[in-house]
Every structure is written in structure tokens, then in C-alpha cells.
Amino acid sequence: MARYIRLYWMMWIQGIQAQIEYKSSFIIGNVATILGQVTGIALVWVLFQKIGHLNGWSLPEIMLIYGIAALPYGFFELFFNGVWSLNRYIRMGDFDRLLVRPGSSLFFILADQPMLHGLGNIATGTVIILLASRQLDIRWDMCNLLILGFMVAWGTLIYISINTITACTSFWFVASGTNFLYLGQRFRDFTVYPLDIYASPLRILLTWVIPFAFTSFFPSTYFLDRDDYRVFVYLIPVIAVLFFGIASFVWRIGVNRYESTGS
Amino acid sequence: MKRLKKYLILTEQSLQVAMTYRVRFFTTMVTGLIQVLALYYIWKVVYAGQKSLGGYTLSEMVTYIFISYAVRNLYTFNTERKISENIRDGSVIIDLIRPLNYQLARFFESLGSVIFEGILVGIIVIAVGFGIFHIKGPASFMYGTLFAISLTFSVLINFSLSYAVGLLSFSTTSIFGFINAKRFISNFLSGGLIPLTFFPPWLHKIAFMLPFHAMVSSPISIYLGQIEAYQIANVLLEQLFWVIILWLAGYFMWAWASRKITIHGG
Amino acid sequence: MSSSPPPIISVRNLTKEYKIARRTEGFIGAVKYLFSRKYDTVRAVDRVSFDIYPGELVGYIGKNGAGKSTTIKMLTGVLVPTQGEVKVNGIVPYRDRTKNGQNIGVVFGQRTQMKWDIPVIESFRLMKEIYQIPPDIYKQNMEIFCDVLDIGSLLAKPVRKLSLGQRMKCDLAIAFLHNPKIIYLDEPTIGLDILVKENIRSFIKTMNAERNTTVILTTHDLNDIDSICQRAIIIDSGKIVYDGSIDAIKARFGTHKVLHIEVKDNLRQGDEVVQLPAGVTVQEFGEHRIKLHLNKEAASLAEVIQTLIEQYNIVDISIEDVSIESIVKQIYQEGWHE
Ligand SMILES: Nc1ncnc2c1ncn2[C@@H]1O[C@H](COP(=O)(O)OP(=O)(O)OP(=O)(O)O)[C@@H](O)[C@H]1O
Ligand SMILES: [Mg+2]
């Protein structure tokens, strides 16, 4: 374990160095992420110029959900973004390089390409949360901060799991240049809004199949004192661990498949 | 004519390549349907108890969502990614030794995915719109025709912008930030996600000073018949203006970039 | 190299400098690097001048990093020179890439011109349109190439299913497809087996003989040069160290021989051969083997062998001409002194 942490740290530093190499891209990358968050929330703001509430949710409440959604996403990008390279690695035959290393190949791929622009997501998310909390009267005392910290950590694990599973499709559809990761990510777009605005099939999907709701909406309900969703808040760690288990399993099947077809 | 032929084969071949990515076609389509569906639900909730918002009734808004998706999707964001990948891995070298105009070649190459992923997915999504969500057709046959012309300009503007952004790879070695920034700004200011009439006046003004609205908002407003017949010429001319400006911008950027090339590897 | 036609490629004081940002190690270094940077300039090609005449077969040789690819990239118009002039068929390549492109064919050994996912034949069709090749020439060339390079059976396969050698043969055929006046080949035989190499060499020679195509070739396999080229340009650290005929090199070193001697006793360091005449150098010594390099003009072969027989219990002796490879090695190390 200690070895993995040390190794991870080294790989992370190297990955970061590779990015700092390109100074302007570091800056513009973060500017772009911030821009993405800002335009996203601006759309909601524009909409609220015309309406008073969205299915009973006020603008600050939606901002809180939006801000919390940005955190695990940002941490995922900053630390575990490597699964995005899986498709390219397999296509170019570079995946062998990871397989011959001593240790878990999933670990190596996750640590492979940290994206510094995750920082932009974390920063904007924090600012949006703070703006929302001012109007909602949420106090960020030690207790709340700790709880948020845990939720973000579990949320990051959920991101790792979902993205690993969708990335694994590359083991099956190599030549087609397809990336199911994009498809999975599109479902993330839903979860920056309250879950109950969607029809029930979509709600079930976002809760039990692609459980992004556990990374943003359910955590937010805790801070908004919506007791009707409390059960789902307790389920956050369960879902995270369960899906990580599924992800590891799918990964193993994928790798075995890769080895047996390897050219 | 002969000159055109050597560019048309680029379209044909990129179409062939696109067609080998059948699974990607499928995911693009599903992604598109999901996005449209999400917007549909959101707007339905937004309209709860309201007859009209920003000058749109709910059923007009549903039409807007579907058509705007088809228009946005017509031009995928592949051009800039391809250009920047070619520059990064050095395979641009192959394009440099060929007797082709780089800008034109990239344009015709990009048409392949416009045809396969843009038009085909667009048709499917719109068919779903007509079949299940009862969206409206164009205001009249003439409006439909003018809509098609406007779409052509939209593709040209889209390409020119993507091309210019892609060429930035010559000075920043990693370009994804620029690509994303462009995507976010254009999603926001083109009217792709929310009609520009919802914007407060100052933002509305800004949006109309920039080229993005000419990519999505202009063709849709023609489709929906929101523009009086006599004003359509103005809208089309404005689009044409942006086509020319942005094409020239790309032309000069290439003149500048192609002298700065260093090829990596080899 | 007759003097009547004007050179098809003419290069004067051609120079290319690359700017490389200087880095320090570690995380702190990386952060520092974020805020300030210093640049080193590398002179990859340094005031190179030469003329190449129509129909010449020129080998462009040098160690790794000598500046070969950089030169080729400037000749093809890919890179803009830092200084100096290039003219290819009367055109400054980087100023008029489109026009220059029509006159040249290029193979970059590490890259393919073909699209990865679609069949090989499609790439040929693409070239037909891009270079506006008349149908009869296209047909004729395809027949010749399929015959000589034996690529007919590959045409229907997608490129990613080709082996390296098969891909290279296709890329070579593509480069020659529009009957270009000049062909640049940057390491066309890299990583190929001897049969494919032979095939490619004879193809290039045939094309040159039949169409008077000018060929410029870089390679690390000096057998390529030996069998294809009449002229060699040797470059080292961006500078030309030799430019002349291969025959001149051979003539110069033709009197040189290499002796391989196998002896019965196990030789150790310190047991060096004594009393060798001038003009003989020891290249290897150890185990049961001695390798000597000798210039026949300075030392008599018989005398050397005599000396050896007196000292060692000899099992076997073989005498060879010096390979062009070791000649070039010597020129790299010592330069070409007249
Ligand atoms: N894009 C680049 N940026 C910076 N330096 C470069 C670049 N390309 C080449 N160089 C440097 O220029 C010099 C010449 O490189 P070049 O590729 O021309 O060598 P080469 O003779 O082709 O070598 P090889 O036989 O290894 O292919 C080398 O020192 C190399 O490090
Ligand atoms: Mg080289």
C-alpha cells in the first residue's frame, strides 16, 4: 500500500510536469474549465430571469447542487484521469507497456494522466457553493466540512468506477475508435440539476445504473435539510464501494480479453 | 472542375473512414437523443404553469430543442482535434508535401463526418422529434429552402472557427483548453442550449456582435419562421459576412503558422 | 554527373536552428519552469551547401541526430530554414508548397501516408486525384508496382493489417505513383528484413534507370547506399564532412584490408602483437581472435602474416576488403583529409 502511494505520488508529479511543460495550455486549460462552469451556471441564471423556481427548487439551491457536482469531478480529473487514455493506449499498442509493469494495471492507468485543469473545476465549484451557502444560510463548520469531504471522496470513487467501466468498452471496440466514456459523461450533465425534474426512468438510471446522482444531488440534499432523501445519503459509500467492485471486475475481464487477442 | 475533384476525394475518403466507425455513429446518436431528452424534461418543468417564455410556447420550444440539436451536431468538433493531433504527432508533414491547399483540404475532409455523423444523426433525431414529440415543420417551403442555405453557411462558419482554433496548435503545443473554451462559449452564445431571446438585453447585444449566433440561432429562427421574409436576406448576408471574415482569418493564420512549423520525431 | 544540365536541387549555406526550452529536474523545477524559461538553440543543420543533378542517386549519411531528417524536411518544404537558400526544380519549396509537392515524392520511414482504417487501394485512388494522375499513367504504374514490389495482394487490406515491410512497399509505391522528378526517402528500409530491403533497392534503381528520377536517400544501412547510390554526402553535427562519389571513397580506402586471425591460445590483454609494421592497426584483440586493419601501400601483407606466424599458433586467417560501413565510421571519427 505504502509502495502504491509513493509510486502514485511520483507518477502524479511526472504527469503534472509533463503538463507544466506547456505553460499557456495550463493556464488556458483552467480558464476553459472555469468558463465551462460559469457558462453552465449562467444558463441557469438566465432561465431564472424568467421563472421563479424550477419544480420547487430555488436558484441558490440549484447552485449548491451545481457546485457540489463540480468537486468530485474536479478531483477525478486532477488525480485519476488516466482512463481517458485507455482507448488510445490500446489502439496504439502502448497498453502493453502498462501490463508488463509489476502491479495493478488499473492503478497504473488511473495514475497515468492527471489533468491540472481539474483545479479549475474544484475552484469554481467551491466559489459557487460559497455563493449559494450565503443565501441559503449554510454554515461550513468543522462537522459539515468533514461530511462534505467524505462525500466528495466517495463521489470521486464513483467517478473512477463509472469511467473505468465505460472506458473498458475499448477492450471490445478497439478499431472502431469509439469512446463510451463520452457517452457516460453525457449522463453527468443531468446531475447538475435536481433529480426530481426528470421522468422516473431517467431518475432510476441516474441512481442505480449510472449513479452520478450520488455524486451531486443526494449529497446536496443533506445540506439542504431535505430529510426525504436521507436514505440515499447513507447509501453513498455503499454505492461507491459496490461500483468500484464492479469496475475492478470489468477491468479484469477486459484485460484478460486484451491479453488473449494481443497482437 | 478538375481542381475540385482532387478535394472531393478527400470528402469521399473521410466519409469512408467515418463509416468504419459504426459503433461511434451509434453512440453519437444515443448521446444526441439523451441530450435532447434531458433538455425536453428540463423545459417541461420550466414551463409548468406558464404559457409562453421568451416568446416561445412549450411546443415551439420543443421544436427549438430538436432543431437546435440537429444544427449544433451538424458540425462536430473533430476538425480542431484532428488538426491539433496531426501537429502534435507530426503527421502534418504528410499534408505539407502534397500539392493541396491546406485549408481547403481540411474543409473537404471535414465534410465526411458532417455527412455521416452530422446529417444522418440529425435526420434520425429530427425523425424521433416528429414521430414522438410532434415538433413542427418549417414555416413554409420557402422558409425550408432558405433554412438549408443558412445551414450551409453555418457549416462554413463552424469549419472556419474550428480551423482557426486548430491552427493555434502551432503556437501552443497542447490545445485542448482552447478547444474547450471555444466549445463552451459557442454553446452559450450561439443559442444552442437556450434561445437568445431569454438573454437580458446587454448579453443579447454581445451575442449578436459575435459570430456564434450565426451558427445556430440564425438558421433556427429561419426554420421557425420568426424572421419576416424581407429580413431573411439580411440574416443570410450577415452569415456570409462571418464566413468571409473567418475564412480569411484562417487563411492568414496558416500563412503565419506554416512558417513556424517544427515537426516532432523522425 | 555530367555538367550540362543545371542542378535540380541547389542548396546554399542551409541552416536550421531549433529552440529548446531548458528544464530543471523535479517538482520545484517544473514550477519554476512555469514562470520563467530559458532557451538553448541547437544548430541541427549548419551552413550546408550542395548541388544535385537530375537523375542522381544520392545517399545522405550520418550518425543519429546528425541532421539528416532536418535537411530532408527543408528540401521538401516542410520546414522553413533559419538561414540559407534552397531551390528545388526552380522553386523555393517552403514558399510554394503546393507547386513543389507536385514535383516530389516522399517516404518518411516512420510514418505512413495511408489512412489507417481503410483499404490500401483507397490511398492509391486518393493519390490519383490529388496529383491529378492521368488514368493511363495510373494504370501503367499500378501494373508495374504490383509486379515489381509484389503488392497486388495487399491492395484490398486495411492498412492496419499490413506488416511493416508490406506497408513500406505500399508507401514507396505511393511516393512514385505520380512520376515525380525527385524522390526523398528518409530511412525507407528501417526495420525491414533483408529480402524486402533487396526488393526495395532494386525497385529504386529500376525507377531511376527508367525514369531518370532523382533520388535522395537517408539510411543507417550502408548496404543501401552501396547498392543504390553513386554519390554520398556525409553529414556530422549538421556539417558536411564528405561529398563525393562512392567510388572515390572506395578508391581511397580500396588498398585497405581487414585481417581476421584465429589462434589456438587464449589471448589476454597485454599479449599485444609486437613489432607490427607501420600502417597496421589492431582493432580487436582477445579470446582466440585478432582483427587487424592494414593499408597495403604502407605495409606488405606477406610481411604482416609472417610476423604473426612467428608469434602465434594460427588456426585460421581470412582477408577482406574494408566495408563501406567501417570507412564511413572512420570518416565520422577523423574527417576526410586529402
Ligand atoms: N523538433 C525539434 N525540436 C528540437 N530539436 C530537434 C527537433 N528535431 C530535431 N532536433 C535536433 O536536431 C538535430 C538533428 O536531428 P535530425 O532529426 O535531423 O537527425 P537525423 O540525422 O535525422 O537523425 P536520425 O538518424 O536519428 O534520424 C538533433 O540534435 C535533434 O535533437
Ligand atoms: Mg532522421
The label of the residue with cell 542522381 reads C56
- Whether the predicted pLDDT of C31 surpasses 80: no
- Which residue in chain A has the smallest CA separation from B20? A176
Q: Does B41 sit within 8 Å of A32, measured CB to CB?
A: no
User: Which of C250, C271, C306 marks a domain boundary?
Assistant: C250
Determine the distance in angstroms separating the CA of C274 from the nearest CA of chain B, rounded to an integer.
47
A194 near A55, Cβ under 8 Å? yes
Residues C296 and C271 placed together within one structural domain of the fold: yes
Mean pLDDT of A157-182: 84
pLDDT of residue A262: 43
Residue C262 within a domain: yes
C-alpha grid cell, residue C234:
556525409
Q: How many residues does chain B have?
A: 266
Among candidates C57, C58, C73, which has minimal Cα distance to C16? C73
Distances (CA, A) of A147 to A140, A152, B89: 10, 9, 45
C-alpha grid cell, residue B101:
491547399
Which of the residues B9, B19, B97, B113 would you substitute to probe the C interface, choosing the one with the greatest number of C C-beta atoms within 10 Å?
B97
Longest CA–CA separation in chain A, Å: 60
**Whole-number Å distance between alpha carbons of C267 and C167:** 48
Residues C188 and C175 placed together within one structural domain of the fold: yes
- Secondary element (H or E) of residue C48: strand C39-52
Residue C326 within a domain: no
Return mean pLDDT, chain C. Answer: 86
Q: Does C98 sit within 8 Å of B20, measured CB to CB?
A: no
**Whole-number Å distance between alpha carbons of C32 and A238:** 43
- Check if C62 has its Cβ closer than 6 Å to any atom of ligand 1: yes
pLDDT of residue C272: 65
Determine the distance in angstroms separating the CA of C31 from the nearest CA of chain A, rounded to an integer.
7
The label of the residue with cell 480558464 reads A31
C-alpha grid cell, residue A179:
469512446
Q: Does B181 sit within 8 Å of A176, measured CB to CB?
A: no
Query: Which atom of ligand 1 is found nearest the CA of C62?
Result: 21
Q: Which residue has its alpha carbon closest to ligand 1 atom 12?
A: C44
Q: Helix or strand or coil: residue C131?
A: coil
**Whole-number Å distance between alpha carbons of A163 and A4:** 21
- Check if C42 has its Cβ closer than 6 Å to any atom of ligand 1: yes
Number of CB atoms found within 10 A of residue B221's CB: 22
**Whole-number Å distance between alpha carbons of C79 and C77:** 6
Backbone angles phi, psi at C10, to 5 degrees: -135, 125
Beta bridge partners of C18: C42
Mean pLDDT of C31-47: 78
Number of CB atoms found within 10 A of residue C273's CB: 17
Number of CB atoms found within 10 A of residue C223's CB: 16
Judging by DSSP bridges, how do beta strands C39-52 and C9-21 pair with one another?
Answer: antiparallel
Residues C59 and C208 placed together within one structural domain of the fold: yes
User: Which of C224, C250, C276 marks a domain boundary?
Assistant: C250
**Ligand 1: which of C23, C40, C45, C70 to mutate, most ligand atoms within 8 Å of CB?**
C70
In the structure, what pLDDT confidence band is assigned to residue C289 with cuts at 50, 70 and 90? confident
Phi-psi category of A76—alpha, beta or left, where left has phi over 0 and alpha has psi -120 to 50?
Answer: alpha
Residues C175 and C272 placed together within one structural domain of the fold: no
Residue A87 within a domain: yes
Give whichever of A97-101, A209-213, B49-53, C298-302 has the largest mean pLDDT.
Answer: A209-213
Q: Helix or strand or coil: residue C185?
A: strand
Residues C19 and C124 placed together within one structural domain of the fold: yes
- Whether the predicted pLDDT of C276 surpasses 80: no
User: CA angle, B140 as apex, B137 and B143 as ends, to 5°?
Assistant: 95
Residues C102 and C60 placed together within one structural domain of the fold: yes
Residues C178 and C230 placed together within one structural domain of the fold: yes
Residues C233 and C290 placed together within one structural domain of the fold: no
Query: pLDDT higher for C337 or A32?
Result: A32
Determine the distance in angstroms separating the CA of B165 from the nearest CA of chain A, rounded to an integer.
13
Amino acid at site C64 = N
Judging by DSSP bridges, how do beta strands C57-61 and C214-218 pair with one another?
Answer: parallel
Of B93, B98, B99, the CB nearest to C111: B93
Q: Residue C284 belongs to what domain range?
A: 255-321
Question: Which CATH number characterizes residue C310's domain?
Answer: 3.30.70
C-alpha grid cell, residue B20:
468504419
- Number of domains within chain C: 2
Determine the distance in angstroms separating the CA of A33 from the nearest CA of chain C, rounded to an integer.
19
Q: Helix or strand or coil: residue A215?
A: helix
CA C171 to chain centre: 17
Of B41, B46, B48, the CB nearest to A202: B41
A240 near A219, Cβ under 8 Å? no
Mean pLDDT of B16-31: 83
Burial classification of residue A201, based on how many CB atoms lie within 10 Å of its CB (0-12 exposed, 13-18 middle, 19 or more buried): exposed
Say whether pTM exceeds 0.90: no
pLDDT of residue A78: 93
Residues C187 and C97 placed together within one structural domain of the fold: yes
Q: Which residue has its alpha carbon closest to ligand 1 atom 30?
A: C65
- Check if C59 has its Cβ closer than 6 Å to any atom of ligand 1: no
Residue C34 within a domain: yes
Residues C98 and C170 placed together within one structural domain of the fold: yes
Q: Which residue has its alpha carbon closest to ligand 1 atom 14?
A: C67
B66 Cα to the center of ligand 1, angstroms: 52
Residue C331 within a domain: no
Give whichever of A8-22, A141-155, C249-263, C321-335 has the largest mean pLDDT.
Answer: A141-155
B221 near B227, Cβ under 8 Å? yes
pLDDT of residue C264: 81
**Whole-number Å distance between alpha carbons of C169 and C109:** 11
C-alpha grid cell, residue A204:
432510476
**Whole-number Å distance between alpha carbons of C294 and C280:** 4
**Whole-number Å distance between alpha carbons of C44 and C70:** 7
Of C33, C117, C160, the CB nearest to A20: C33
Q: B58: Cβ–Cβ under 8 A, 6 or more apart, which residues?
A: B43, B44, B47
Q: What percentage of chain A exceeds 70 in pLDDT? A: 94
Among candidates A60, A189, A204, which has minimal Cα distance to B42? A189
Q: Residue C287: how many CA atoms within 13 Å on its side-chain side?
A: 6
Distances (CA, A) of B29 to B24, B122, C274: 8, 8, 83
Q: Residue A128 belongs to what domain range?
A: 2-257
User: Which of C207, C228, C250 marks a domain boundary?
Assistant: C250
CA A95 to chain centre: 23
C-alpha grid cell, residue C304:
604482416
C198 near C86, Cβ under 8 Å? no
pLDDT of residue C221: 85
Beta bridge partners of C41: C19
**Whole-number Å distance between alpha carbons of B73 and A178:** 17
Residues C211 and C141 placed together within one structural domain of the fold: yes
Q: If you compute the radius of gyration of chain B from its CA atoms, what whole number of angstroms results? A: 19
Residue A262 within a domain: no
Mean pLDDT of B67-71: 92
**Whole-number Å distance between alpha carbons of A122 and A77:** 10
The pLDDT tens digits of the residues spanning A63-103 come to 999 999 999 999 999 999 988 888 888 877 678 777 777 67
- Number of domains within chain A: 1
pLDDT of residue A263: 41
Residues of B in contact with A170 (CB under 8 A): none
Q: Give, as one character, the DSSP assignment of residue C220.
A: S
For A224-245, letters b (16+ CB in 10 Å) and e give bebeebeebbebbbebbeebbe
User: CA angle, A104 as apex, A99 and A109 as ends, to 5°?
Assistant: 70
Which of the residues C24, C25, C27 would you substitute to probe the A interface, choosing the one with the greatest number of A C-beta atoms within 10 Å?
C27
C-alpha grid cell, residue A8:
502514485
pLDDT of residue A235: 96
Mean pLDDT of C16-20: 87
Of C26, C34, C160, the CB nearest to A23: C34
C216 near C58, Cβ under 8 Å? yes
